[in-house]
Structure 1
Amino acid sequence: MVSYKEILASNALINDSTAPRIAVFVGGTSGIGKFTIKALVATGTTVKIYLVGRKNSKERTQAFIEELHALNPKASVIWTEAEVALLADVRRVCDIIKSNESRVDLLFLTAGYAPFGTRKETAEGHEVVQALEYYSRMLFILRLLPLLGESGLARVVSVLGGGLETTWLIDLDDWDLKRPGNFKVYRARLQYLAMNTITLDKLARENPNVTFIHSWPGSVNTGNVRRGWDANSIIGGTFSRVFEFLTWLAGFSGDESGQRHLFEITSAAFGGRGVPWIGKAGITTTEQLAGGLFLVNYKCDYTLNAKVVAWLREKGQEKLWEHTQELLGPYF
């Protein structure tokens, strides 16, 4: 475990040469993304942030942007409105960024929530949470890869469940869980996080100049637990209150979560670039000297989850890649 004291000490050393200069935060209007943006801006470094969020969060986000500018006048935060569950909107946002930037140093992906209720689909026909937690994330990565490759320091962080992969209940023949009775909250969570790791592992092998991190944040009260339930669900309301109490009791505060993820995006513990790290360096699933995929847990420790990842790679990687290319193809 990397102690919180060590994390704060490392973060105190962040400067313009170790912090991302151009960052894209998808899902940064609330929760872990928002906590991490605030921690990054508070370092006082020169940073330009594209903050991607839904229309209904614009008003409260403007107040947050003003707060960030007061905290660090050298920080530029650009509000970028999008419904990222829609792949056409993801394509549009990526085109905006690509038209304005020649490089991206950080892509931080947190949009999503637990699908506790009945299956709901977007206008494009994809289950909403899967669209947020897998398809839109992969489309952001794939469309911004040319800019990430130009950075030399780029990191992609997908916050979901790195290290929790399992072979149990993963359906390699029904990626979208459309077969009758296949869509259940526990199966969807395992399926979506495994899909993240399978594809990030492939992309990391093919792009050694980019570091990929699949982060498991642990318990953080972001409010998202309330989003997945059907409206007026008594069970949902009760579960949400109990979960939020337990998180308050034993989970991380927003500030600590932000600092831990700031460590992930700036420390040389992951990828050998960034703030010097004298502790034990992380090891990638891809066993690369540069870049690679790190599975990082809430203690900022890495895990290889070697047997499971090897099984997923062998049994599902090419099948998932073909499926992903077919589905995302129209949005390139």
Structure 2
Amino acid sequence: MVRYTDIKASNTLINDSTAPRVAVFVGGTSGIGQLTIKALVATGASSRIYLIGRKSSQDRAHVFINELQSANPKAEVIWIEGEVSLLADAKRVCEVIKSRESHVDLLFLTTGYAPFGPREETTEGIEITLSLGYFSRMVFVLQLLPLLREAEAARVVSVLGGGLMERPTSIDLDDLAMEKPGSFGPIKSQMLSATMNTATLDKLAADNPGVTFIHSYPGWVDTGNARRGFEPNSWKAWLAWLFLEPLIRIFSFSDEESGQRHLFMSTSAYYGGGGVPWTGKAGVNTFGKLVNGLFLVNYRNDCTLNAGVLSALRERATERIWKHTQDVLEPYL
């Protein structure tokens, strides 16, 4: 286990030479993304941060940005409006960033929520939670990969379900869009998104040894997303407010601890050797090695292998998931 005291000690070493100089946060207007931005800016280091969110979040985001830049004038926080559940808009945002930057040091992805209603598609015909939890994220990764390769120690952090994977025998590889009757559900869509994140990031890590990939399972954090999965003002949303959200608050990490833990993931040489120097035993990638690759990180910041499931996933499902991903994303790459 990585002790929280060691995490905080590592984060105090973040400075202009170890902080990500250019960071892109997709989903940083609330929850873990916002908490991590706040922790990064609080280090006092110079960073240029792209904050991407929906138009409905713009006013709240600008208040947040003003607070950040008052706390640390060396930080530059740039707002880009984007409805990233739409893959065309995700691509547009990436094009804006690529027109302005020659490299990206950190790509931090947190979009998504747990659905508790029926299956719902975006206007592009993709189930919305799969779009947010997987496909939109992969647009950002693949579009910005050339800029990540140009950085000295680039890192991609996808916060969802690191280490939580379905066995290939539990996945309908002929229905990765979850279109068959009865195939969709809140747990099923979350698990499929998490599994596809792991499979694709594992493949991309093997092809891009200069980039560190992290798939994080954050545990319980009070992000407010629990209620988002219900119809506003419905009796289910009311029950979530009355019972589910207080339960989450009881068992959750504090906002500060969640931000510090994810800042550590984003900056420490514990994962892959780049970033803030780490003394002692480091984390291992999905092949059990102390080198760059994909790191499956649990809520205690430990690296988990789940080697049996991952090996079966590589053997039986990764190429099918990758082919499906390419088919869906082809117009947006």
Q: Above 0.5 in TM-score?
A: yes
Distance 2:286 2:53 in 1: 31
Could you tell me the TM-score, scaled by structure 1's length? 0.97
Q: Is the 8 A contact 2:55 2:82 kept in 1?
A: yes
Q: Aligned runs of 1:28-43 on 2, under 5 Å?
A: 28-43=28-43
Distance 2:289 2:321 in 1: 22
Task: Report Cα offsets for 1:19-48 as digits up to 9, x if no partner.
Answer: 100000000000000000000000000100
Distance 1:277 1:171 in 2: 41
Distance 2:71 2:18 in 1: 19
| Aligned residue number for residue 72 of structure 2 | 72
Distance 1:54 1:239 in 2: 24
Q: Is the 8 A contact 1:209 1:290 kept in 2?
A: no
Alignment partner of 1:181: what SS? Answer: coil
Confirm or deny that 1:280 pairs with 2:285. Answer: no
> 2:321 corresponds to which letter in structure 1?
L
| Aligned residue number for residue 192 of structure 1 | 193
Task: Report Cα offsets for 1:202-228 as digits up to 9, x if no partner.
Answer: 000000010000000100001011111
Distance 1:77 1:31 in 2: 17
Per-residue deviation at 1:278? Answer: 2.0
Q: Aligned runs of 1:218-229 on 2, under 5 Å?
A: 218-229=219-230
Alignment partner of 1:308: what SS? Answer: helix
Aligned-residue CA RMSD in angstroms? 1.2
Per-residue deviation at 1:311? Answer: 0.9
> 1:108 corresponds to which letter in structure 2?
F
| Aligned residue number for residue 210 of structure 2 | 209
Identify if the C-alpha distance between structure 1 residues 239 and 169 changes in structure 2 by more than 3 Å, giving closer, same or farther.
farther
| Aligned residue number for residue 18 of structure 2 | 18
Alignment partner of 2:262: what SS? Answer: helix
Aligned residues: 332
Distance 1:236 1:111 in 2: 20
Distance 2:24 2:48 in 1: 9
> 2:108 corresponds to which letter in structure 1?
F
Distance 1:102 1:245 in 2: 44
Q: Is the 8 A contact 1:170 1:187 kept in 2?
A: no
Confirm or deny that 1:251 pairs with 2:233. Answer: no
The answer to which of 226-235 and 254-263 deviates more is: 226-235
| Aligned residue number for residue 174 of structure 2 | 173
Q: Aligned runs of 1:60-139 on 2, under 5 Å?
A: 60-139=60-139
> 1:173 corresponds to which letter in structure 2?
D
| Aligned residue number for residue 154 of structure 1 | 154
Task: Report Cα offsets for 1:177-226 as digits up to 9, x if no partner.
Answer: 10011101111111110000000000000000100000001000010111
> 2:134 corresponds to which letter in structure 1?
Y
Per-residue deviation at 1:230? Answer: 2.5
Could you tell me the TM-score, scaled by structure 2's length? 0.97
Distance 2:287 2:293 in 1: 6
Distance 1:216 1:236 in 2: 25
Identify if the C-alpha distance between structure 1 residues 184 and 8 changes in structure 2 by more than 3 Å, giving closer, same or farther.
same
> 1:109 corresponds to which letter in structure 2?
L
Alignment gaps of 5+ in structure 1: none
Alignment partner of 1:180: what SS? Answer: coil
The answer to which of 238-247 and 196-205 deviates more is: 238-247
Per-residue deviation at 1:238? Answer: 1.0
Q: Is the 8 A contact 1:169 1:187 kept in 2?
A: no
Alignment partner of 2:120: what SS? Answer: coil
Alignment gaps of 5+ in structure 2: none
Alignment partner of 2:193: what SS? Answer: helix
Distance 2:100 2:26 in 1: 17
Distance 2:241 2:318 in 1: 35
> 1:145 corresponds to which letter in structure 2?
L
Q: Is the 8 A contact 1:162 1:215 kept in 2?
A: yes
Distance 1:286 1:157 in 2: 18
> 1:293 corresponds to which letter in structure 2?
L
Task: Report Cα offsets for 1:80-118 as digits up to 9, x if no partner.
Answer: 000000011011011000010000000000011001111
| Aligned residue number for residue 59 of structure 1 | 59
Per-residue deviation at 1:289? Answer: 5.3
> 1:123 corresponds to which letter in structure 2?
T
